[in-house]
Every structure is written in structure tokens, then in C-alpha cells.
Amino acid sequence: MDISADLTELGRTCLAVVCSGVKSILDIGRTLEYLETQGVCVVSYGPTRDFPAFYSHKSGHLAPYHVNSAEEAAAMIHSLDQLQVQSGLLLAVPVPEEDQLIDDVAMENAIQKALKLAKEREITGKAVTPFILQQVSELTEGRSLQTNISLIKNNALVGANIAVALAKTEREKKQTKREEQPQKSYQVFTRPKDPQLNPIVIGGSILDSVVSVQEPFKVEGR
């Protein structure tokens, strides 16, 4: 079984990834199962738990969770960060309806034809995915490529909105925390004013002494 290193990395790195789900040329069910095994939080972005299949809104699989807005996604990311979870979060964003240029049946037929052609040409390993994507683009007369471009732009927009919401959430949490902290009090000692106090002068005196010997003397070495 060919498992992408990205899936393993998601299981051991605390980060949030915004994508359009899993391409239908892959085994979506096994991918979701592997992500669950790795402890990755998989979330669908939208009103339902339907997990998108890249070019399509639905893959026939459900995500464990879903959020309806960038604010909800930001709150979930913030919570995972506060809990110090060591695995990542995968946020699956379906392609906008107006940008889904190919119906599910036509897309599935194109994928199956591409898979069959790859098998006939004995294409294996990492060369399979780019070959199939190229074939699907040709079979759909470029519509799959246009959908791909649209979903990339949409993912960037959703990701930016979540980043803004997350920054706002963290700022508000910090402000609330500061307000809840008890204010430190300092005790100041003062001396009562006494009008009878006299000034004190602090200084020093130096006395130089000079001795003059009038009688002769002798040094005996003792």
C-alpha cells in the first residue's frame, strides 16, 4: 500500500492544513482511516459532514466533524493548540458549486479511463498520479484543470479568513486573561512631616602635625 509521507507527518506535527479533500483517484476511505489512526483531526468545512473529493462536493464518505465558518475553525485550532495536541488538523473545503464544472458521473468515468490506461501502459509508483491528472484533464477538455485552479483560489481565501479569525481569537483570549489576573498592590511607607527637625551636616576634619627635633639624636639601629 502506497502511503504518502504527508499523512504520517500530519500525525506528528501540530499544524492546520486547508485542502479540498482527497482526489477520487485515491482510496478515500482508507486515507480517512489512516488519518484517524495517526490521530489527525479531520474536519469538513460547511453545513454537513460530507467529505469532498477534490473535484466534487461529495465523496460518499463523512468527516468526523464539521465547522460552518472561519470563526468556528479558528476556535477549534486554538483549542487544539491550548491542549498541546501533537498531531495536525485537516480542514476539507469543498469546491464552490459554481466552479464544479464536471458532474460526478463524468468525472468518475474520466478517472476510470485514465486508471485503465495507466495499467495498460504499466505506469506505477509516483508517476501514476501526474499521469492520471493529465489524462483526466484531456478527457474533460480542460475543465478539471479549471476546477483545480478555482479550488486552489478558494482554499487560499478560506485559509486567509481562518488565519484572521485565529489571530482575533488569540488576541481576545490574551486580553481576557490579563483582565482576570489580580492586580498587584504595592505598600508605600511614608514619614510624617516634622517641622522641628534640624539639618544635619556630615563632613570630616583633617589635622596636620609637624614635629621639629631641637636636640641632636643618634640612630643606634635598635
- Alpha-carbon distance of 120 to 139, in angstroms, equals 17
Contact 107, 24 (CB under 8 A): yes
Q: Which of 1, 73, 57 is nearest to 31 (CA)?
A: 1
User: Mean of the pLDDT values across residues 71-92?
Assistant: 94
For residue 173, what is its C-alpha cell?
Answer: 483570549
pLDDT tens column, 172-189:
888 877 766 666 666 666
Q: In 189-215, which positions are buried (b, 16+ CB within 10 angstroms) versus exposed (e)?
A: eeeeeeeeeeeeeeeeeeeeeeeeeee
pLDDT for position 193: 65
Cα 129 to Cα 55, 105, 126: the distances in Å are: 15, 20, 6
The residues, any chain, with a CB within 8 Å of residue 63's CB and separated by 6 or more, are 32, 42, 43, 44, 49, 50, 51, 92
Domain topology for 7-176: Indigoidine synthase fold (3.40.1790)
Q: How far is CA 91 from CA 49, 112, 159, in A?
A: 11, 27, 9
- pLDDT for the residue numbered 208: 73
Out of 26-30, 39-43, 97-101, pick the least confident.
97-101
Over range 103-122, report the average pLDDT.
Answer: 89
Distance CA 51, CA 141 (A): 26
pLDDT tens track for 54-78: 888 889 899 999 999 999 999 999 9
How much is the mean pLDDT over the chain? 86
pLDDT value, residue 217: 67
The Cα 139–Cα 113 span in angstroms is 9
Q: Stretch 194-208: mean pLDDT, rounded?
A: 70
Q: Say what percent of the chain tops pLDDT 70.
A: 87
- Segment 117-143 shows an average pLDDT of 88
Residue 192 pLDDT exceeds 70: no
User: Taking 60 as the threshold, does the pLDDT of residue 222 lie above it?
Assistant: no
In 69-210, beta strands by DSSP E: 89-92
